Amino acid sequence: MLSKLPPRERQIVDILYELGPVLVAEICEALPDQLSGSAVRAMLKRLEDKGYVQRSESPRGFLYSPAVSDTVAKKSALSEIVRVFFNGSPANAASALLGMSEKLKEDELDELEQMIARARAAKGGK
């Protein structure tokens, strides 16, 4: 979903996910290179037209935020990564993550075990 955006638009949406609802000036400050407020507003308008960004009024001006929840965006991004890099296999992706187990904390490993147990129970498995 977001991977189809041009790089600069994607950068702006990433900033919105990172910072939450923000003003154009705050987006300009967060960008790694200088862009005018009018250029950022034009991109925000395109993103709003495409359904990626929403705006709301505030006493300080329009606040911009992602139109899609971060949960939905993460799932979409992860699905794309699994499709491209792991031949569509979630098991291969999980295996790659577990290959990084030296970086996982004990409580993260416990959480993964619980998630696997819940997924298995939901499928009616043992």
* pLDDT tens-digit map of 9-43: 999 999 999 998 999 999 999 999 989 999 999 99
- Number of C-beta neighbours around residue 29 at 10 A: 12
Domains of the chain plus CATH, in order, are 2-66 (1.10.10.10), 93-126 (no CATH)
Distance CA 64, CA 18 (A): 12
* pLDDT tens-digit map of 28-86: 999 999 899 999 999 999 999 999 999 999 999 999 999 988 888 888 888 889 999 99
Angle at 30 between CA 21 and CA 7, to 5 degrees: 95
